[in-house]
Amino acid sequence: MIDNRRLFARHYRAKRSPLQSENGSFQFDWVPAWENMGSFWLFALVVAAALTGIAGASLIYDLNGNWTIIRADGDYIIGRVPGGIYTDLMNAGVIDDVFFGYNDNSSRWIGRRNWTYCTAVELNETIKAYQQRNIVFEGLDTYADVYLNGIRIGSSNNMFVRYVFDVRDALEVGKNNITVVFRSPIEAALELYQKQLERYRVPQECPNDVYNGECHVNMLRKMQASFSWDWGPAFPSVGIWKDTYIEAFNVALMRDLVTHVVEKDDTTWSFYADIYFEAGGTDTVTGTVLLTIKLDSSTMQWRKDVNATRNGYGELVWNTTLTIPKNQAKFWWPNGYGSQNLYEFTVDFQRLPDEEPQTRTIKVGFRTVELVQDNLDDGATFYFKVNGVPIFAKGSNEIPISILPERGTDPQAARTLLQQAKEVHMNMLRVWGGGVYESDEFYQAADELGIMIWQDFMFACSMYPVNDEYLESVKTEVNLNLKRIYSHPSIVVYAGNNENEGALADNWYDTSENYSLYKRDYVTLYIDTVKAEFDKVTKGRGIFVSSSPSNGKQAQADGWVSKSPGSSKYGDVHYYNYLTDAWSTTTYPVPRFCSEYGYQSFPFQSSWLTTTNNITELYINGKFMSYRQHHPLGNAEMDLLILENLNLPSFDSVNYTRGIFYLSQVLQSQAIRIETEHYRRYRSYLNENGEGYTMGALYWQLNDVWVAPTWSSIDFTGRWKMLHYFAKDMFSPVIITAHIDWQPSGHVKVYTVNDQLSVLENVTLVTKVFKYDSPDFQPMNENRTLLTLAPACSELRDTIKIDEYLSSYNCGSLQTADQNCFFYFELEKDGSPISPSNYIFPVKLKYSNLSSPDVKVSSVKKTGTRVFEIVVTSTNIALFVWLDSQDVRGRFSKNGFLLVQPTRTLWFYSDQEDVQADQLQRSLDLTHLKDSKWS
C-alpha cells in the first residue's frame, strides 16, 4: 500500500477526473452535492492549492534528506533521513564496511553511544493558515526524545510504529530546529531490564556467547535480530529509518485504508473498506467520498456521504461495504495456480467540494483464504485453501532483508528476493518474527508475484514484559502495522510470535519454576493484546494463529500453551536435528505442516572473498571462520553430517576448506531436498500413527544478512547456494520422488506428486539403474511404465525390492556390500520431461565405489545479450556437478546436478550485459564429488 498522500496534487492532475465515467462504468449511490462540480473546477482548485499552498488542500513538507548527526563530543557528520547510524557513519568515512572482516566487532561502540540527529527547516507564513500541524515520523529506531526549537514534543520507544507529534503551537514561521536524540539501545535495554528485575526476571537475558551479541533486546520493541542471532551479527541500530515530514491541514486527513474481500454468494463479492482519519481533537468528520475500482472491462464507482465518528477505541473511522459482481474481477492466485490479478482501488475524499481533497490508491485482489483444521481420527488437518483450492504451501522463511533497517526498506532488494522465491516454484514465505514488518513494496511485490505471506508479529525466542506501557506500545504496533499491510491479498495468516509457546512449554529459558506466571504473561501478551487488537482491526475476519509453530485450534483448547506445541497431529511444527543421518527419511517427522526445518552450509569462496582479502582467514577451523559461526558447534555438526554419507577432504589438501564449502552445500541441498520430498509424498497419506496429510514445507532460511555459515539458500552476495537450485526441483509442480523403506527389508518406494489441478494422462515413468562406473553411461536396466497422475495428490507408483532387483542387473549385492548402482527416475509425456529427474542411492555414497571422471566445461557461447550456452562433458557418471561463475555475477539454468550422459548443455544468465564468452569461461570453476582437488 503506497502512501501517496504527499503526491495527491500530481495524482489529481494525471488521473482522469473522477466525475467522468468511462465506457461501461457503473455509478452508484450518487450524491447530489457532487453533481454541480465541474471537473475542471476541481482540477484548478487542486493545482492552485498545490502551487500556492493555500488552505483547502493539505500541505506536506518533506523532511527527508540530509540531517546533521552530532556525537556526544560535539563532532558531527552529515547523515540521511530515512537512514541509520551505521550507513551514515560508513558514508561519512568514519567507519569501514561493517560487513567486512571483524568490523561488526570493531563497531560495537556505536550501539553504546547516544546519537543526535537534527535539521533546520525554514517555513513561511503558509503554515499558519492551517489549523493542524504535525511532525510525522513513520519510523524511529528506537528510544528517542524529539525536540522542536528546544521544546520536547514527544518521545519514541517502538521502531515499528508511526509517531505523529502535534506541533500546532511549537512550529514557527522562519527557522525551526528539529532534533531527535537517540538513546543507546543497549543502555535503554539494560535500564528496562533492571527495572523489570525488581519485579521478576523476563528471560532470555543474553544471547549465547558465540553470537557476539548484546543483551536484553526483549525489553525493546525493536528488530530482535539487531542484537545478534545465530545467523547474524549484532548491529544495534539507531536512526530515523522511514519517511519523515510535516503535515498541515485544517480538519481531517485520511490516514489509513483497510480493505477486506469476502465471497458474499455465488455471484458477488462483498468488499469492505475502512477509512481511518486523523483530525486533531475533532470527533466527527463529514464529507463525500468517491470510490473507484477499475475492473476487467469496467470501472465501478460509488459516491457516498462520509460521517466518520470515533469508534469504541477512539479511532476516527468510517466504513462501507461495496458489492462487486464476480464476473467483473478475476481471482488472485498464488504462484503456480493462476495469475495474480490485481485491481486499482481509489478513494477520493473531500470534506466539502472545496475542502481538503485527498486521494489514495491501492491494489486489491479478489481471493478467499481459509485455514482448514478439520478433525481427523487423531488430530486435525492444517492447510490453506485459496479460492476453495487446497494449496500445498511450498517455500521458505525470510529473515530481514538487511540487518540494517534502513537498507531493508530498499524496494528493489525486496522485489529481487521475492522474484527468486518465485523462480524456484515457491508459493509461500514466512516473514519471521525476529525481524521487521516489511516494507509496503515487499508486500506489493508478494501480491504481484503470487507469494503467499505467513506474517509473524515481531516477537521471537524469548519471554516478553507485560507492563502497561509495554502492552500499550504493542497494541499500537499491531494496530498500525495491520492497517498498513492487511489489504494485501498475499498475506494469508498472522502468527502471534516465533517459537515462544514452545520456549515456555519446553522450558528453554528456565521458566518452569514460575510457569503459571509466565503462562499468564504469555496469554496476556499474545491473546489478550495482540490477538485482541488483531480481531479489532480485522473485525474478526482475519486468520490468526497464536504462535509459529502451534497446534492451531488445539492450542486454544489447551489454554494457549499446549503440553507439546510441536505435536505432529495438530498445526505446524519446526523441526531440526543435527545428530542423525540427514539423508534418511526416517530422521524426519510426519507433521501436518512443517514451517521451519533446515541445515547449515558454508557460502562458496567467491562469496567469502567479499568479506576478507586474506585467503588464509578462510581456514575452516581458524579464528575468522569460527568467529562467523554463531551456531554453537555448528562447524563440527556440519562435518559429522557430511561424514554420515560422504568422505571429508583429506586434511592436508590445500583445497580442504573449499572442499568443505562444497560438501556442506551438497549435504544441505540433499538433506532439504529429501526432507521436502518426504513432506510432499505425505500430502495424500496417513501413516499407521495417524500422521500425514502434510500440506506445507517452508524450509529455514531463504536469505542472509552477512557472509557466514548459515541455513540460507541464497547467500549475502545474492549467489544461489546449491540448495536454491535444488529448491527449483523439489518444489516443481510435478515431481517423481522415492525413498527407501528398510522395514522389513530394503524397498525403494516410488511416488509421483502432482500439485496441479488437472489430471495428467499418458505419463511415462522411466526407472533406470546406473552403475556409478557404468561404461559409456549405459543404464544397467531401463523400465518404462505408463501412468495417469490424478490432480492435487501424491501417489505410490512402485515398490522395488532393492536386493532382488539390483542383483539381477550385475550391480552386486547389499549382502556382500559390493552393491554399486543407483536408481534414476524420469517422468515423460510425449517424449519430453514433465518433471525434474530424480535419483536414490541405495548404499551410502561413502561406501560406494564411485568413478573419478574427468568433468570439463567444453564450450561457452554467447547466445543472447546476457545468455550463454555452456556445454559440460565428462568421461563417466559424475555426481553433484557444480559450476561457480566466481567474479561474473549471474545464474545457471541448473547446478549441482547428476551427470548421467557424456555431455550436458546448460545456460548462464549474467547480471551484466557486457560480459563476453571468454571472460565467463575463464571465470568458471567446475567441481564435482570426486574432484581430484579433494577426494
Which amino acids are annotated catalytic? Answer: 499, 596
- Contacts with ligand NAG by CB under 6 A: the residue count is 29
Residue 622 binds to ligand NAG (criterion: CB under 6 A): yes
**In the β-sheet with 734-741, what is the strand arrangement from edge to edge?**
734-741, 747-754, 793-801
Q: Which part of the chain contacts ligand NAG (CB under 6 A), choosing from 313-321, 347-355, 378-386, 671-679?
A: 313-321
Strand (E) or helix (H) holding 568: none
Residues 125-154 that bind ligand NAG (CB under 6 A): 126, 150
Given 17, 64, 103, 114, the residue binding ligand NAG (CB under 6 A): 114
102 versus 839: smaller Cβ distance to ligand NAG: 102
Give the contact letters, 351-390, x = binds to ligand NAG (CB under 6 A), - = no: ----------------------------------------
The owner of cell 519446553 is: 506
Least distance in angstroms from the C-beta of 428 to ligand NAG: 29
244 versus 420: smaller Cβ distance to ligand NAG: 244
Given 44, 54, 92, 120, the residue binding ligand NAG (CB under 6 A): 120
- Amino acid identity, residue 923? S
Residues 284-303 that bind ligand NAG (CB under 6 A): 284, 286
Cβ atoms < 10 Å from Cβ of 140: 27
Least distance in angstroms from the C-beta of 124 to ligand NAG: 4
CB 594 within 8 A of CB 698: yes
Given 36, 614, 816, 932, the residue binding ligand NAG (CB under 6 A): 614
Residue 124 binds to ligand NAG (criterion: CB under 6 A): yes
Give the contact letters, 181-200, x = binds to ligand NAG (CB under 6 A), - = no: --xx--x-------------
Q: Give the chain's count of helices (H) and strands (E).
A: 21, 48
CB 872 within 8 A of CB 928: no
Asked if the peptide bond before residue 799 counts as cis, ω within 30 degrees of 0, the response is no
Given 309, 788, 799, 865, the residue binding ligand NAG (CB under 6 A): 309
Given 157, 158, 176, 179, the residue binding ligand NAG (CB under 6 A): 179
Q: What are the phi and psi torsion angles at 704 (to 5°)?
A: -130, 160
**Per-residue cell: 420:** 527468486
Given 10, 13, 520, 539, the residue binding ligand NAG (CB under 6 A): 539
**Per-residue cell: 92:** 561519512
Q: Which part of the chain contacts ligand NAG (CB under 6 A), choosing from 154-162, 474-482, 613-621, 898-906?
A: 613-621
C-alpha to C-alpha distance for 667 and 599, rounded to whole angstroms: 8
Residue 321 binds to ligand NAG (criterion: CB under 6 A): yes
The owner of cell 559429522 is: 640
**Per-residue cell: 796:** 505410490
Write the DSSP assignment of 270-322 as a string of letters. EEEEEEEEE-TT-SEEEEEEEEEEE-SS-EEEEEEEEEEEE-TTS-EEEEEEE
Given 617, 639, 691, 729, the residue binding ligand NAG (CB under 6 A): 617
The set of residues, in sequence order, having a beta carbon less than 8 Å from that of 312 and lying 6+ positions away, is none
C-alpha to C-alpha distance for 575 and 691, rounded to whole angstroms: 15
Q: Which part of the chain contacts ligand NAG (CB under 6 A), choosing from 381-389, 592-600, 615-623, 861-869?
A: 615-623
| Closest by CA position to 491, among listed 545, 434, 537, 430 | 430
Least distance in angstroms from the C-beta of 653 to ligand NAG: 18
Given 4, 25, 177, 212, the residue binding ligand NAG (CB under 6 A): 177
Given 37, 55, 118, 780, the residue binding ligand NAG (CB under 6 A): 118
Whole-angstrom CA distances from 297 to 259, 267, 330 are 22, 17, 11
Asked if the peptide bond before residue 82 counts as cis, ω within 30 degrees of 0, the response is yes
Give the contact letters, 880-919, x = binds to ligand NAG (CB under 6 A), - = no: ----------------------------------------
39 versus 321: smaller Cβ distance to ligand NAG: 321
Residue 536 binds to ligand NAG (criterion: CB under 6 A): no
Expressed in angstroms, the distance from the first to the final Cα of the chain is 53
Least distance in angstroms from the C-beta of 703 to ligand NAG: 28
Given 616, 743, 816, 832, the residue binding ligand NAG (CB under 6 A): 616
Q: Which part of the chain contacts ligand NAG (CB under 6 A), choosing from 417-425, 440-448, 617-625, 709-717?
A: 617-625
- Amino acid identity, residue 110? I
| Closest by CA position to 600, among listed 623, 628, 568 | 628
Residue 53 binds to ligand NAG (criterion: CB under 6 A): yes
C-alpha to C-alpha distance for 184 and 802, rounded to whole angstroms: 64
Applying CB under 6 A, the residues found at the interface with ligand NAG are 53, 61, 70, 72, 113-114, 118, 120, 124, 126, 150, 177, 179, 183-184, 187, 284, 286, 307, 309, 319-321, 539, 614, 616-617, 622-623
